[in-house]
Structure 1
């Protein structure tokens, strides 16, 4: 499964957010079931950022979120409230 957590980040906080997002990704990467992760910024809307990760399953992802809770806390006000976990139905490596 993969997860997409989107953030609306004011330009004045972009540098601070990038550092926080890297710390979040580092914590997630240390968790069981983690496969890969990316931090991205929209090329069309520079205030829109995403942390995208891939997991062995939804349970791993949910447990990892609990482990990363303290790292995620400073960025929670920037999160876009929407579902983040997606089941992979088709892959084309």
Structure 2
């Protein structure tokens, strides 16, 4: 499972705000990385729009990611920063060749 959180740090805030946000984002990443089920992750800043940042993490499955979000350390060190993410869907399933993708079928028995 892949999680993509995008953030906009207004350019008018100056480089000090960007440096502060980068430190906050790194702290959030470290808190998430310490949780079971975390596989990999990295931070990025858009080359064409330096106000746009991203945190991409990969997890064993959606349950591991959701449990990570409820951990005390993540609530303390990551959630305040993650709450600044752009309001858009952030969880993606891997679509590698040969993988089964989720479907929108009803999961209950009629």
Aligned to 1:87: 93
- In the TM superposition, residue 69 of structure 1 has moved relative to its aligned partner by 2.0
When the two chains are superposed, the root-mean-square deviation of aligned CA atoms in Å is 1.5
If asked which structure has higher relative contact order (CA below 8 Å, sep 6+), I would say 1
Unaligned runs of 5+ in 2: 98-110
Structure of greater Rg: 2
Unaligned runs of 5+ in 1: none
For residues 13-92 of structure 1, what are the structure 2 equivalents within 5 Å?
13-67=17-71, 68-76=74-82, 78-90=84-96
Which structure's residues are more often strand, by fraction?
Answer: 1
In the aligned structure 2, how far is the partner of 1:40 from the partner of 1:34?
18
Report the TM-score, using the length of structure 1 for normalisation: 0.88
How many residue pairs match? The answer is 91
Q: 1:73 to 1:3 in 2, by over 3 A?
A: closer
- In the TM superposition, residue 73 of structure 1 has moved relative to its aligned partner by 4.2
